Amino acid sequence: GEDVEQSLFLSVREGDSSVINCTYTDSSSTYLYWYKQEPGAGLQLLTYIFSNMDMKQDQRLTVLLNKKDKHLSLRIADTQTGDSAIYFCAERDSSASKIIFGSGTRLSIRP
């Protein structure tokens, strides 16, 4: 079945860029998403990319998609303390409306 994988932890210095990586298995995914979850809260849709795009930029966020390698990344420029959260990569099941989530990457910021 479909699978989405991410590393569990990432620590970056405040002001540096954060890059969170994700791999997926479903080659027919239509949408790929990045969600942010702060402690005790639900998920906030940060950004998404269509599967026919290579890159999408939205303010401090840059999403890169390598469809050949089934690799998705999220780059956060000028990382701030407010960016501390768990970031979930997700892909939309091509046959239905289900979303398959990765395990989440916990981003921590050090001064």
Partner 1 sequence: GAVVSQHPSRVICKSGTSVKIECRSLDFQATTMFWYRQFPKQSLMLMATSNEGSKATYEQGVEKDKFLINHASLTLSTLTVTSAHPEDSSFYICSASGTLVRGGVSDTQYFGPGTRLTVL
Q: Which residue, 83 or 102, is less far from partner 1 as judged by CB?
A: 102
| DSSP conformation letters of the chain | ---EEE-SEEEEETTS-EEEEEEE--TT--EEEEEEE-TT--EEEEEEEETT-SEEEETTEEEEEETTTTEEEEEESS--GGG-EEEEEEEE-TTSS-EEE---EEEEEE-
Least Å distance, CB 78 to partner 1, is 26
Q: Which residue, 17 or 30, is less far from partner 1 as judged by CB?
A: 30
Least Å distance, CB 61 to partner 1, is 15
Least Å distance, CB 109 to partner 1, is 18
User: Which stretches of the chain bind partner 1, using CB under 8 A?
Assistant: 31, 33, 35, 40-45, 48, 88, 97-99, 101-104
Q: Which residue, 60 or 101, is less far from partner 1 as judged by CB?
A: 101
